[in-house]
Amino acid sequence: MGDGIILFGGTLYLDELEELEQEAFLALAQNIVSVDGDVSPEEQRMLSDASREMRREATQFEAASPGNALFEHCLSVISRAESRAIVMLELASFAFVDGVYREEEREFLRSLARSWGIDPLTVVRIEEWGETHVSLAADAVSILDEVAESMNRVGDGAG
């Protein structure tokens, strides 16, 4: 059953972003999944799921990395405090979804936070939230698999 279920289970807050903020988010997400030079299947799936949720094509967005014009544009487009918090939380989940939080991902998140004036202690909480969120989503998939397996046994007369 787990193969048919999205590990991440969808995003929590992306529908709260305005259209231009969603586009900026996808450009930032493109960067965080590729910043370490390795886009894992989990990261690719999560990017595809977020794109689909926002009714966008992820492939049409280039990566917004610190120092490039697109990054600066994203910083200015995502100007509301709530939107910035949503983007940071979602990107933290992207960073942890493959099970490895690499230094390049950490530096990208922290660079984004510095650009927006987010307190370093808040960034640590965001990182912890991302890790916990991904872990809980993985647990949910495991539970769904266990329940399905139990129901299959009952249906086979083994329960």
User: What tens digit of pLDDT does each residue of 9-25 get?
Assistant: 455 688 889 999 999 99
Confidence of residue 8 (pLDDT cuts 50, 70, 90): very low
CATH number of the domain at 130, please. 1.10.3680.10
Q: Domain containing 15: what range?
A: 2-155
Q: Between 158 and 145, where is the model more confident?
A: 145
- Model confidence, pTM: 0.82
Classify the C-alpha dihedral 103-101-58-86 as positive or negative. negative
* Backbone conformation region of residue 92, classed left if phi is above 0, alpha if psi is from -120 to 50, else beta: alpha
Domain count, the chain: 1
